[in-house]
């Protein structure tokens, strides 16, 4: 199964992807996480991406498309779930083209729909594990021990692009550049199953809606 998870910054893509991969045995491919790993490793790509990420705008398509094609190549036969990619209509079209070369296609698109004001509340309280990527929230999704990851005990960190000013830029970028990807998939000749998910709800309810949609697809 090949899935795309769309949604604004803070919609819960990372949180829900962790749960999806556990349930269906897929590979989680987050373009943002891969970029942050490249930065931490001090690669050329990481260096090029830094200023775009820090100001909350998109990294150029040509850098992202190649990076994600390499990551997708390593996915197991069970498939993958894409988190934060594609984020422009051009990225979506390039992805379709490269999958078609392997006689593959996207099977399902989940659109996590959320109000802008909820996003702002979530981002400022987010904490994540630098080792395994698990995401927490200081109020909504607390770790068992304050400041430590439940899985590996690592000290949780705050993302530098979660300041109010950068979050507002990321939201603006999302509405201008990424929202059109919804219509791209709805009108696509490849016709993936398309699901609207209310992401304003609490995390377990959002997971339940996602699982209901995907379980039906898997059992077809």
Neighbours of 62 (CB within 10 A): 11
- Per-residue tokens: 37: 């790993």
Q: Which residues form the catalytic set? A: 13, 87, 126, 159, 170
The stretch near ligand AP5 (CB under 6 A) out of 19-27, 55-63, 100-108, 142-150 is 55-63
Q: Among 7, 10, 12, 14, which residue interacts with Mg ion (rule: CB under 5 A)?
A: 14
User: With CB cut-offs between 5 and 8 Å by kind, which of ligand AP5, Mg ion, none does residue 79 bind?
Assistant: none
**CA distances, 164 to each of 50, 55, 77, 117 (Å):** 18, 11, 40, 11
- Comparing CB distances to ligand AP5, the nearer of 116 and 219 is 116
Task: Confirm or reject binding of residue 65 to ligand AP5 (CB under 6 A).
Answer: no
Neighbours of 115 (CB within 10 A): 11
- Comparing CB distances to Mg ion, the nearer of 30 and 88 is 30
CB contact at 8 A, 79 and 26: yes
Answer whether the bond into residue 13 is a cis peptide, omega within 30°.
Answer: no
Q: Among 6, 38, 81, 84, which residue interacts with ligand AP5 (rule: CB under 6 A)?
A: 84
- 3-class DSSP state for residue 113? strand
Query: Can you tell me the distance from the alpha carbon of 196 to that of 182, in angstroms, rounded to the nearest whole number?
Result: 10
The stretch near Mg ion (CB under 5 A) out of 10-18, 42-50, 60-68, 152-160 is 10-18
The stretch near ligand AP5 (CB under 6 A) out of 3-11, 103-111, 150-158, 212-220 is 3-11
Question: Residue by residue, what is the 3-state secondary structure of 19-49?
Answer: HHHHHHCCEEEEHHHHHHHHHHCCCHHHHHH
Query: Can you tell me the distance from the alpha carbon of 53 to that of 161, in angstroms, rounded to the nearest whole number?
Result: 7
User: With CB cut-offs between 5 and 8 Å by kind, which of ligand AP5, Mg ion, none does residue 12 bind?
Assistant: ligand AP5
Binding mask 107-126 for ligand AP5 (x = CB under 6 A): ---------------x--xx
Sequence-separated (6 or more) residues with CB below 8 Å from residue 62: none
CB of 219 to ligand AP5, least distance (A): 26
- Per-residue tokens: 66: 């190649």
Q: Among 3, 26, 64, 92, which residue interacts with ligand AP5 (rule: CB under 6 A)?
A: 64
Interface residue list for ligand AP5 (CB under 6 A): 7, 9-15, 31-32, 35, 52-53, 56, 58-59, 64, 84-85, 87, 91, 122, 125-126, 135-137, 140-141, 170, 201-203, 206
Contact footprint for Mg ion (CB under 5 A) = 13-14
């Amino acid at each position: 199964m090949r899935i795309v998870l769309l949604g604004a910054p803070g919609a819960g893509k990372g949180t829900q992807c962790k749960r999806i991969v556990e349930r269906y045995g897929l590979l989680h491919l987050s373009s943002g996480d891969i970029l942050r790993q490249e930065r931490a490793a001090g690669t050329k790509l990481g260096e090029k991406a830094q200023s775009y990420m820090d100001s909350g705008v998109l990294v150029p398509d040509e850098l992202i498309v190649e990076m994600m094609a390499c990551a997708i190549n390593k996915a197991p036969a069970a498939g993958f779930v894409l988190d934060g990619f594609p984020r422009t209509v051009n990225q979506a079209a390039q992805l379709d083209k490269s999958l078609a070369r392997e006689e593959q296609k996207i099977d399902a698109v989940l659109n996590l729909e959320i109000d802008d004001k909820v996003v702002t509340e979530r981002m400022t309280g987010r904490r994540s594990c630098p080792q395994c990527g698990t995401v927490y929230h200081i109020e909504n999704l607390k770790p068992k021990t304050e400041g430590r990851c439940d899985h590996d005990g690592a000290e949780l960190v705050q993302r530098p692009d979660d300041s109010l000013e950068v979050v507002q830029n990321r939201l603006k970028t999302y509405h201008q550049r990424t929202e059109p990807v919804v219509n791209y998939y709805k009108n696509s000749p490849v016709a993936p199953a398309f699901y609207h998910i209310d992401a304003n709800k609490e995390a377990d309810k959002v997971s339940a809606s996602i699982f209901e949609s995907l379980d039906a697809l898997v059992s077809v």
